[in-house]
Structure 1
Amino acid sequence: MDDVSDNLAWEQAHGSGLQAYLGYRITEWSENHAVVELEIKDHHRNRAGILHGGVIATLMDTASGCAVCYCAVPGNMRKSLTLSLTTNFLGMAKGGVVRVVGKKQGGGRKIVFTEATAFNDAGDVIATATGTFKYHRGSDDPNGVPREA
């Protein structure tokens, strides 16, 4: 198994409870880049019947965090925490799959900056975000740290 497949498989098997509840998945992951997708279900919608802004923000936060935490060393991982996430809602999604692309934009050894763009099923931009993330101890090294079981 190559490092990309290994990283994706491990992340899916060890995702958070929120990831399991919402049902999003990481579909692309490489250095400085990640894509998160979610098939919209009833529990993702607000009272107006469209995808809830909080769900979109969660997906943009996740894609951005993954974009800065890719680790090419099999068996290792990197972790970060969100310091800030500024979101702009530009459109909506009622159904289908929402796709969020996160990219690292720059930064230093411990603090990094991101941007994310969310697309509805028709390919229209529905939201954008910029973020600031801080690496956990040891995760500032691109080789990461050993995974926890």
Structure 2
Amino acid sequence: MTQDLLDGEPTSGFQDLLGYHLAEWAEGHAVLELAVERKHCNRAGVVHGGVLATLIDTSCGFSATYCPVPGRVRRVVTLSLTSSFLGQARHGIIRAVGRMRAGGSRIVFCSAEVLDEDGKLIAMGEGSFRYRTGSKALEGVPL
């Protein structure tokens, strides 16, 4: 599923390590899904805050970088990120829903919510992101 949405772009090593995938992607919107495994949990047996922060950061970044042109990509770098942890998950599939909220010529602002398998909000955050060279335009740059 990820490969289709990424149009041939290989997954990152970090994505492979954590095991999340891009489930939905459109202009200003991205959804990541992660099947919770033992490797995602802290000593208390719940999903580690670092995993949740990664999903917030990554879903925000994807929400700002949708590119409809085959063979081309858009990229951002994270300038700032905040996160709040509101609940816990021990198992199931968690979803991070990222949305681009506003932006200028180089800087965009995004937010994300992480939901457990029952749709309960377990984390949320927001960040500011800077477009990499050539990535502001919807047509992006060659892959």
User: Are residues 1:97 and 2:93 paired?
Assistant: yes
Question: Do 1:7 and 1:74's aligned partners in 2 also have CA atoms closer than 8 Å?
Answer: no
Describe the shift of the 1:40–1:6 C-alpha distance in structure 2 as closer, same or farther (beyond 3 A): closer
Map of 1:8 onto structure 2? 6
**Residue 142 (structure 1) shift:** 1.2
Give the whole-Å Cα distance in 2 for the aligned partners of 1:51 and 1:6.
28
**Residue 10 (structure 1) shift:** 2.4
Describe the shift of the 1:7–1:145 C-alpha distance in structure 2 as closer, same or farther (beyond 3 A): farther
Map of 1:21 onto structure 2? 17
Where do 5+ consecutive residues of structure 1 fail to align?
Answer: none
Map of 1:115 onto structure 2? 111
- Which of 60, 64, 72 in structure 2 is aligned with 1:64? 60
For these two proteins, the number of residue pairs brought into alignment is 142
Give the whole-Å Cα distance in 1 for the aligned partners of 2:33 and 2:4.
19
**Percent of residue pairs bearing the same amino acid type:** 48
Question: Do 2:65 and 2:76's aligned partners in 1 also have CA atoms closer than 8 Å?
Answer: yes
Give the whole-Å Cα distance in 1 for the aligned partners of 2:12 and 2:32.
14
Question: Do 2:5 and 2:22's aligned partners in 1 also have CA atoms closer than 8 Å?
Answer: no
Question: Stretches of 4+ moved more than 2 A in 1?
Answer: 5-11
Aligned-residue Cα RMSD (Å) equals: 1.4
Give the whole-Å Cα distance in 2 for the aligned partners of 1:6 and 1:97.
20
- Which of 38, 44, 49 in structure 2 is aligned with 1:53? 49
Where do 5+ consecutive residues of structure 2 fail to align?
Answer: none
Map of 2:75 onto structure 1? 79
Give the whole-Å Cα distance in 2 for the aligned partners of 1:96 and 1:9.
27
Report the secondary structure of 2:8's partner residue: helix
**Residue 140 (structure 1) shift:** 1.0
Map of 1:35 onto structure 2? 31
TM-score (norm 1): 0.92
TM-score (norm 2): 0.95
